[in-house]
């Protein structure tokens, strides 16, 4: 991709925007980084960019900003379909940061997407791919925290890229192509931005839009939305299932993770040998194993990597055990479906839930809460609706505690009432932006407070 002396506008000064701006500059472009938040400079150090001769423009964005631009790179946090960008797109190409990454990539890209489980599956797939390509020849990036463009630029043609892909990242992506992809599940999420499930799912399906039968697509057999994608994909398809044996694909048989492919049965390892626990992690493991296997992975080496793989931070992460009560950080559960996976893992729970409410349905959530949650502690903006829904689903009112906007109060109350064999589980079923900058900050705060308990 030749950017020499081209004018590149990068929209959004988050992690992805910073990386894209610096890389475009490195490739010889004249770069402007713009963010609508005029106070961004008060929170972030922008001197690194200005030292690189990258112009930073903060505040309201107008068409004048884009005059003479050769390329616009948009960050995932910025909606592509705003009226301003629709007008700009008539004159200049607008692409996402992941599309920018793809255009720079020398190595094949293997993508993981879905509503829940992406981060764990991506991290695990990265470890599995190292058994094929070597420790230093695998880049892991995307929605996982490391900008994909950095990894695509860094990794040479003898390696591979493992990318966690969100629906936001695909909005401004049309050419993005993968060697292989896994779609874990599709449940209602981010509908405030995408408006409908159909649009949300269509963004997910872009990861296989350019596939032929030479490309691999791993799909969840048990999810009605992903199962149906097989009817539209031109890829070589491998299903996985955590609930039934398949004629071909990855599944659990006699408590063993197995892959049946082209008439041969490959036993990977026993479920109990994995460090990552829970039915959702069986699904994540099956998906990652399938994609790595199709990429040429050796089953013995993959088994070793899987058994060595430790739980991902903020996803049913054990924090501390006090008087027989273990505290778990599941802050990454930003929707009810993700929280359901964690709740289903334990029989007796003190649950801390709530936050920035996405207004998603709560019927399945409260079916599990009624079955497994001994006490419900609510925090944040979602408190009112979550309590109303709890009572509507016949959860006892005297088992509900409102901690307001204080994680400290929530943790202290949980500590006060919890008794073994109960666990204390932070699994919010909500975003975090009413109280924190992101789920990572929420999880870290929870862990800090738990570690301060006596």
Cβ count within 10 A of residue 453: 16
Q: Which of 398, 388, 397, 336 is nearest to 367 (CA)?
A: 336
* Calpha distance 85→199 (Å, rounded): 18
DSSP 272: G
* Calpha distance 79→133 (Å, rounded): 36
304: exposed, middle or buried (Cβ count in 10 Å: 0-12, 13-18, 19+): middle
* Calpha distance 237→204 (Å, rounded): 16
Backbone angles phi, psi at 63, to 5 degrees: -60, -30
* 191, 285, 394 from 311: Cα distances, Å: 29, 12, 34
CB 94 within 8 A of CB 172: yes
* Calpha distance 280→96 (Å, rounded): 30
Backbone angles phi, psi at 346, to 5 degrees: -125, 145
Helix (H) / strand (E) element for 72: namely strand 71-74
Three-state DSSP at 354 gives strand
Q: Is 116 annotated as a binding residue?
A: yes
CB 253 within 8 A of CB 90: no
Cβ count within 10 A of residue 398: 6
Cβ count within 10 A of residue 96: 26
Give the contacts of 287 (CB within 8 A, at least 6 positions apart).
Answer: 112, 117, 121, 182, 184, 218, 220, 240, 250
* 84, 99, 168, 172 from 90: Cα distances, Å: 10, 19, 21, 14
Q: Is 114 annotated as a binding residue?
A: yes
* Calpha distance 49→33 (Å, rounded): 9
Q: Is 118 annotated as a binding residue?
A: yes
Q: Is 119 annotated as a binding residue?
A: yes
Structure tokens at 403: 């901690």
* Calpha distance 119→177 (Å, rounded): 20
For helices 439-451 and 407-417, what crossing angle results, to 10°? 40
Q: Is 326 annotated as a binding residue?
A: no
Known binding-site positions: 114-120
Known binding-site positions for ATP: 114-120
């Amino acid at each position: 991709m030749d950017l020499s002396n081209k004018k590149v506008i990068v929209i959004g000064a988050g992690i992805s925007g910073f990386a894209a701006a610096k890389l475009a500059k490195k490739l010889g472009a004249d770069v402007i980084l713009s963010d609508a938040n005029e106070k961004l400079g008060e929170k972030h150090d922008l001197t690194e960019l200005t030292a690189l001769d990258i112009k930073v423009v903060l505040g309201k964005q107008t068409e004048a900003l884009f005059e003479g631009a050769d390329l616009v790179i948009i960050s995932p946090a910025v909606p592509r379909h705003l009226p301003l960008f629709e007008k700009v797109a008539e004159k200049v190409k607008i692409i996402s940061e992941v599309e920018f990454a793809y255009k720079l990539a020398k190595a094949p890209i293997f993508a993981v997407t879905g509503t829940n489980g992406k981060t764990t599956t991506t991290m695990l797939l990265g470890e599995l791919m190292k058994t094929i390509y070597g420790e230093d020849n695998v880049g892991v990036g995307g929605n996982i925290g490391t900008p994909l463009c950095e990894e695509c630029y860094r990794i040479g043609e003898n390696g591979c890229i493992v990318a966690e892909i969100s629906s936001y990242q695909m909005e401004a992506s049309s050419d993005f192509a993968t060697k292989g992809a896994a779609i874990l599940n599709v449940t209602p999420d981010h509908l405030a931005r995408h408006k409908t499930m159909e649009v949300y799912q269509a963004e997910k399906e872009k990861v296989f839009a350019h596939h032929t039968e030479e490309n691999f697509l791993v799909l969840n057999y048990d999810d009605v939305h992903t199962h149906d994608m097989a009817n539209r994909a031109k890829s070589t398809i491998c299903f996985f299932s955590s609930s039934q044996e398949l004629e071909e694909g990855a599944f659990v048989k006699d408590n063993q993770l197995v892959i049946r492919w082209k008439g041969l049965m490959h036993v990977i390892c026993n479920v109990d040998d994995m460090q990552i626990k829970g039915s959702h992690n069986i699904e994540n493991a099956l998906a990652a194993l399938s994609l790595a296997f199709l990429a040429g992975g050796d089953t013995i080496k993959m088994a070793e990597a899987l058994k060595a793989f430790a739980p991902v931070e903020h996803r049913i992460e054990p924090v501390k055990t006090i008087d027989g009560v273990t505290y778990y950080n599941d802050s990454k559960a930003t929707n009810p479906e993700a929280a359901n996976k964690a709740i289903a893992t334990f029989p007796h729970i003190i649950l801390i839930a709530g936050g920035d409410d996405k207004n998603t349905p709560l019927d399945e959530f409260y079916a599990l809460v009624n079955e497994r949650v001994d006490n419900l502690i609510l925090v944040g903006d979602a408190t009112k609706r979550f309590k109303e829904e709890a009572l509507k689903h016949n959860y006892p009112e005297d088992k509900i505690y409102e901690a307001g906007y204080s994680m400290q109060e929530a943790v202290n109350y949980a500590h006060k009432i919890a008794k073994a064999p109960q666990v204390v589980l932070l699994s919010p079923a909500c975003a975090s932006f009413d109280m924190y900058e992101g789920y990572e900050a929420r999880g870290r705060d929870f862990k800090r407070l738990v570690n301060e308990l006596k």
